[in-house]
Amino acid sequence: MPKVHFTTHLQRFFPALEQGTLAEGQTVAEVIRSLDQQHPGLAAYVVDERGSLRKHVNIFVNDELILDRVKLSDPIDEKTRVYIFQALSGG
């Protein structure tokens, strides 16, 4: 299963979320759904109501920024590392 890493900001809302969390899926969208099943509500911080990546969120598959921000169809395999980054904004 792919390992998922994320900014620690999400741990404030999901304290049980750990770096290197295992999530099932063959696409980024499936991995997000798997994470949301493990940690209900997490997907709402990452994707909007249509399932598209939120404006201030970036996801990397291994070392590459995903290409499909709308359907999150980028492929994943069981050795993939997924990184979820939420940009902090403000001044």
- Predicted pLDDT at 88: 67
Query: Alpha-carbon distance 9 to 77, whole Å?
Result: 26
**Class assignment of domain 3-86?**
alpha beta
| pLDDT band at residue 42 under the 50/70/90 scheme | very high
| Averaged pLDDT score across all residues of the chain | 92
Predicted TM-score of the model (pTM): 0.91
**More confident site: 18 or 89:** 18
- Predicted pLDDT at 40: 96
Closest CA to 64 of 46, 83, 90: 83
Domain boundaries, the chain: 3-86
pLDDT digits (tens, 9 = 90+) for 67-81: 999 999 999 998 999
Number of residues that make up the chain = 91
How far, in Å, are 14, 37, 57 from residue 73 at the CA level? 25, 19, 16
For the ranges 10-14, 20-24, 32-36, which has the lowest average pLDDT?
Answer: 10-14
Torsion angle of the four alpha carbons 7, 9, 15, 20, in this order, in degrees rounded to the nearest 10: 0
Mean pLDDT, range 47-57, rounded to an integer: 95
- Residue 28 exposed, middle or buried by CB count within 10 Å (0-12, 13-18, 19+): buried
